[in-house]
Amino acid sequence: MPIAAILALTELIAHSTAGTMFELVSALNSGAELLKQHTSNPISLSAGCDLFVAFVTTFAHESKSFFDLKRELVRQGQLYVKEASTSRSKIASLLLDFIPDDSVILTHSHSRVVTHALLHAHKQGNKRFSVYVTEARPLGLGLKTYQILIDAGIPCTVILDSAVAYAIGKVDLVLVGSEAVVESGGLVNAVGSYQMALIAKAANVPFYALAESYKFYRMFPLSQYDLPTHNDEILSLPTSLSSIRKPAMMSENPQLTMSDDQVNKNPGVDYTKPDLITLVFSDIGILTPDGVSLYLVGMFAG
Amino acid sequence: MAAANEASAKPTKKDAPPNIPPPKPVLTKAERRAKQEKDREAKAAAKGNAATNSKPGAAGTKSTSKTSNSNTAVAGPSQISKSTKTPEVTEAAPVKDAVLAAVQSQSVPELRDETRGLRIFSHFGLPKQSGSSNLKGPLHPAIFRLALQFSDFQIVGANARCIATLNAFKTVIRDYVTPPNTTLSRHLMTYLNPQIGHLVNARPLAVSMGNAIRYLKVEISILDIDLPEQDAKDSLCERIDNYIRDHIMVADKVIQDVAGEKIKNGDVILTYAHSSVVQKVLLQAHERGKIFSVIIADSRPLLEGQESLTSFRVLFYLLFIIIYLGKQLLSVLAEAGIQCTYLLLPAVGSIIEEVTIVMFGAHSVQMDGAVYSRAGTALVAMMAKAHSVPVLVCCETHKFSEAVHLDSFNKNELAPTASKHSLDGPDKLRSSDDPNLQILNPLYDLTPPSNITAIVTEVGTIPPTSVSSVPLALGR
């Protein structure tokens, strides 16, 4: 998603009629705003937009005319997108040394960078390992990961989200992807990552996060409820008990699954605190959570 | 409203300095010295029976035991007190030795010989009484007045002191005339140094002041040597104004926005003592319609929290009037006006569970992320950490300090003994004149980075570990 945003903004520059830097940046900002409005989860999108706007504003240029500058920016934007597509491979090769032979890996839901890294370790790295993947209710994206890994010939078992603590004793390392890596060095990812990190910490299992550097985002959540995705509906309690149609629900839903309304009261992402994360693997290298914040501060405040 | 706070640099407080010297033309050195002696005596008298006896003579008569260990060479004047104190002296010695170098490097050597009745903490900084004896040059009246305001704690707070200092230097620079056969960029520095020295004598420099002075010195040294004097002076004054605008005023505005975003409706914000930045953040968040309540924790010796409280109350009254006019008294009163609770440090433990955000100001932030702030801050931060309450420190980068201290014993200051908020208790203790009783009122303490969630600066919200990556040039 961040890459799509960068591409869209590059396109915007190419077609923009802006005659000055100020006009261009405000056009970019309003474009980014528009993109954010049309998505339910703006976090990773914002990361891409912010990165690109920061790049444009600080771009050191020698071009004589503004037109040249715009062309140069478009070129740089496309170049970046091209390079970004290689970042997953970089992360995969960095991770290789951290996967011991005969290890058991626990992962959460579906992440393209994690599956890419696992497939790479299996094929190019000739590592033998097996994987537990959580089901990741309510979307069940874990099954997608399961399918991909099984197809590649990696032993894999789907476990319940609630079975993470049960399974952690058999696990050597935890790998998760990320929506965004934030300024505290923490991680925003599909809900369940935080509890997985807590369990991993309690069991002294290393917890590795994989994140392309365009997912680094200048945001500092103080708590779960400080995330931009949080709203009043999430975790809301019924205002009056009479509004709950208990008997009706039981009869029309004998299998005891959650209704859409109930699912909607649940968060899509959560925030993993930096002290729970062992390392962050990104295309700029392997960072500690502190290193992430150093990098972000250096990039945006420098 | 925000500006009013910074304007406290001007002596608006009730007890104005007893005698502000009017800008006088030229005094001989002796005359000036005599005058300063007189001023000081008046000041010392005003301070009453403070243990900060500024005259060496008085220290000898009243607190005989206090001088006994200031120098190991001094023989104990009273046998009894000496025998009771022997173990402490030996304990104190290594501490003293360890800090001696630091003390020597940052203050005039003679301070070492003075104690204020504190055995181990004698290095914390003392009331400066011998400013004139080591004057190296003519002193500007503006600096003289500022020094008095510093030593009387009429101007407190890293920002207020920094602004006041820079404004005073602006006056100094305007009144400065380059002597013949020298150039401004070479001579002004030697002229300013004794002025700075006098300020240090009045009260140790705040980190913010140190950074500002360093900036000023650089600006002076890079002045073009061929620049006409008036132009050079104008340019310097402009630089000073820019420094105040960029590093303090605008920085505060950014911090208000950034920290304000962290305040959500229904939050309970705990703050400690009084910070101009935190005050601005809360007031702005309130103006923007956030509904939250504030708990102000406070403690002796300065009881600065009352200042915060007053400023919020003023707002409350203003709102009251507006509301009254709007005839929506009840409903809006309930929602508007910052609900404040004022309590003392010991009560923090009882209410910390209610708090959603802890917000502090800072005297300075060290490169390792530790925060040097009003004594008691570390305690509140520790408690917040224990209850998983996020701790935000609002601090502009001009207060960032390159020095790293590992604890608050290494470097600290002592609170003024004759504080305007003095209660009876400790003063009574002091007047009982028990040679075995000493009162310690350090002004600052050090909050370790592990107890701080984030530091809100004008370059964004950063974790304490990232302080070192904020380019130094920003604050310098």
* B456 three-class SS: strand
User: Is the distance from CB of B167 to CB of B141 less than 8 angstroms?
Assistant: no
Q: Which residue from A183, A274, A302 is facing B462, i.e. has the nearest CB?
A: A183
With respect to residue B94, please indicate whether it lies within any of the assigned structural domains. Answer: no
**What tokens appear for A217 in the block?**
């985002």
> Which run of H or of E encompasses B32?
helix B29-46
Chain-chain contact of B462 with A293 (C-beta, under 8 angstroms)? yes
CATH number (domain holding residue B387): 3.40.50.10470
Q: What confidence category does residue B42 fall into, taking pLDDT thresholds of 50, 70 and 90? A: low
> Which run of H or of E encompasses A208?
strand A207-210
Closest by CA to B426, choosing from B48, B154, B47, B50, is B50
With respect to residue B371, please indicate whether it lies within any of the assigned structural domains. Answer: yes
Residue B438 has pLDDT above 80, yes or no: no
Mean pLDDT (whole number) for B141-159 = 88
Mean pLDDT (whole number) for A38-59 = 79
Q: How far is CA A188 from CA A117, A177, A209, A221, B357, in A?
A: 19, 9, 10, 9, 21
User: Is the distance from CB of A161 to CB of A133 less than 8 angstroms?
Assistant: no
Q: How far is CA A186 from CA A276, A277, B227, in A?
A: 8, 7, 53
H-type helices in chain A, by residue range? 2-15, 21-37, 43-58, 66-84, 87-95, 112-123, 142-152, 164-167, 193-202, 246-252, 260-264, 289-301
Residue B334 has pLDDT above 50, yes or no: no
CATH number (domain holding residue B223): 1.20.120
**What tokens appear for B168 in the block?**
């005073």
CATH number for the segment(s) A99-222+267-301? 3.40.50.10470
Same domain? B336 vs B443: yes
Q: How far apart are CA B236 and CA B230, in angstroms?
A: 10
Residue B53 has pLDDT above 60, yes or no: no
pTM, full prediction: 0.75
pLDDT for position B356: 94
Interface ipTM? 0.83
With respect to residue B282, please indicate whether it lies within any of the assigned structural domains. Answer: yes
Q: What confidence category does residue B319 fall into, taking pLDDT thresholds of 50, 70 and 90? A: very low
pLDDT digits (tens, 9 = 90+) for B223-280: 888 888 899 999 999 999 999 999 999 999 999 999 999 998 888 999 888 888 888 8
Residue A238 has pLDDT above 80, yes or no: yes
Chain A positions touching B262 (Cβ under 8 A) are: 222, 226
Q: Between residues B311 and A162, which one has the greater pLDDT?
A: A162
Residue B475 has pLDDT above 60, yes or no: no
**What tokens appear for A182 in the block?**
């934030």
Chain A positions touching B458 (Cβ under 8 A) are: none
Residue with tokens 């000739």: A126
Q: What confidence category does residue B30 fall into, taking pLDDT thresholds of 50, 70 and 90? A: low
Strand partners, A208: A175, A279
Q: Report residue A265: phi and psi, to 5°.
A: -80, 5
| Identity of the highest mean pLDDT range in A51-65, A239-253, B31-45, B299-313 | A51-65
User: Mean pLDDT for chain A?
Assistant: 87
Chain-chain contact of B463 with A302 (C-beta, under 8 angstroms)? no
Closest by CA to A219, choosing from A293, A284, A295, A269, is A293
* A93 three-class SS: helix
Mean pLDDT (whole number) for B338-363 = 89
Helices A112-123 and A87-95, axial angle in degrees (round to 10): 60
Same domain? B194 vs B277: no
Residue B124 has pLDDT above 60, yes or no: yes
Nearest chain A alpha carbon to B357: A222
pLDDT for position B413: 83
* E-strand stretches of B58-208: none
pLDDT for position A150: 95
C-beta atoms surrounding B329 within 10 Å: 12
Pinpoint the residues of chain A covered by CATH 3.40.50.10470: 99-222+267-301
With respect to residue B89, please indicate whether it lies within any of the assigned structural domains. Answer: no
How far is the alpha carbon of B142 from chain A, nearest alpha carbon, in Å?
37
Where among B213, B248, B283 does a domain terminate?
Answer: B248
Q: Which residue from A185, A226, A301 is facing B470, i.e. has the nearest CB?
A: A301
User: Is the distance from CB of A178 to CB of B457 less than 8 angstroms?
Assistant: no
The shares of helix, strand and coil residues in chain B, as percent rounded to the nearest 5, are 55, 10, 35
Chain-chain contact of B463 with A225 (C-beta, under 8 angstroms)? no
pLDDT for position A32: 83
pLDDT for position B427: 52
Calculate what percentage of chain B has a pLDDT beyond 90: 26
C-beta atoms surrounding B384 within 10 Å: 23
Calculate what percentage of chain B has a pLDDT beyond 70: 58
pLDDT for position B156: 84
Mean pLDDT (whole number) for B331-336 = 38
DSSP label at B442?
Answer: B
pLDDT for position B333: 33
pLDDT for position B313: 57
Q: Between residues B45 and A174, which one has the greater pLDDT?
A: A174
User: Is the distance from CB of B373 to CB of B362 less than 8 angstroms?
Assistant: yes
Nearest chain B alpha carbon to A219: B461
Mean pLDDT (whole number) for B420-448 = 66
Nearest chain B alpha carbon to A292: B466
- The answer to whether the peptide bond before residue B23 is cis (omega within 30 degrees of 0) is no
pLDDT digits (tens, 9 = 90+) for B56-112: 443 333 333 433 343 333 333 444 343 433 344 444 444 444 444 444 444 444 433
Q: Between residues A97 and B306, which one has the greater pLDDT?
A: A97
Among the residue ranges A48-52, B197-201, B336-340, the one predicted with the least confidence is: B336-340
Nearest chain B alpha carbon to A185: B463
Mean pLDDT (whole number) for B280-286 = 87
Chain-chain contact of B470 with A297 (C-beta, under 8 angstroms)? yes
Boundaries of domain holding B345: 263-474
Nearest chain B alpha carbon to A301: B459
Angle at A159 between CA A158 and CA A161, to 5 degrees: 130
Same domain? B227 vs B294: no
Angle at A146 between CA A168 and CA A141, to 5 degrees: 90
Chain-chain contact of B462 with A218 (C-beta, under 8 angstroms)? no
Chain B positions touching A183 (Cβ under 8 A) are: 460-463, 466
Residue B217 has pLDDT above 60, yes or no: yes
With respect to residue B106, please indicate whether it lies within any of the assigned structural domains. Answer: no
pLDDT digits (tens, 9 = 90+) for A91-110: 999 999 999 999 999 999 99
Q: What confidence category does residue B10 fall into, taking pLDDT thresholds of 50, 70 and 90? A: very low
**What tokens appear for B209 in the block?**
């002041």
pLDDT digits (tens, 9 = 90+) for B289-302: 888 888 888 887 77
Chain-chain contact of A222 with B357 (C-beta, under 8 angstroms)? yes
Q: How far apart are CA B72 and CA B284, in angstroms?
A: 55
Where among B190, B224, B248 does a domain terminate?
Answer: B248
Chain-chain contact of A226 with B461 (C-beta, under 8 angstroms)? no
User: Is the distance from CB of B185 to CB of B176 less than 8 angstroms?
Assistant: no
Chain-chain contact of B262 with A222 (C-beta, under 8 angstroms)? yes
Q: Which residue from B262, B466, B471 is facing A226, i.e. has the nearest CB?
A: B262
Q: How far apart are CA B332 and CA B441, in angstroms?
A: 43
Residue A209 has pLDDT above 50, yes or no: yes
Chain-chain contact of A294 with B465 (C-beta, under 8 angstroms)? yes
Q: How far is CA B179 from CA B121, B136, B174, B182, B184, in A?
A: 44, 16, 14, 6, 8
- The answer to whether the peptide bond before residue A2 is cis (omega within 30 degrees of 0) is no
**What tokens appear for B393 in the block?**
């420190």
What residues of chain A have any CB closer than 8 angstroms to a CB in chain B?
183-185, 218, 220, 222-223, 225-226, 274, 290, 293-294, 296-298, 300-302
Residue A119 has pLDDT above 50, yes or no: yes
pLDDT for position B105: 43
| Identity of the highest mean pLDDT range in A63-67, B62-66, B461-465 | B461-465
Residue B421 has pLDDT above 50, yes or no: no
* Cβ neighbours for B423, distance < 8 A, ≥ 6 positions apart: B300
* Cβ neighbours for B179, distance < 8 A, ≥ 6 positions apart: B187
Domain total in chain B: 2
* B302 three-class SS: coil
Residue B389 has pLDDT above 80, yes or no: yes
Residue A121 has pLDDT above 70, yes or no: yes
pLDDT for position A256: 80
**What tokens appear for A255 in the block?**
């299998």
Q: How far apart are CA B35 and CA A210, in angstroms?
A: 70
Calculate what percentage of chain A has a pLDDT beyond 70: 93
Chain-chain contact of B465 with A226 (C-beta, under 8 angstroms)? no
Residue B280 CA neighbour count, 13 Å, CB half: 26
Question: Can you give the C-alpha Rg of chain A in angstroms?
Answer: 21
* B407 three-class SS: coil
User: Mean pLDDT for chain B?
Assistant: 72
pLDDT for position A113: 93
Q: What confidence category does residue A47 fall into, taking pLDDT thresholds of 50, 70 and 90? A: confident
Same domain? B300 vs B181: no
User: Is the distance from CB of A258 to CB of A179 less than 8 angstroms?
Assistant: no
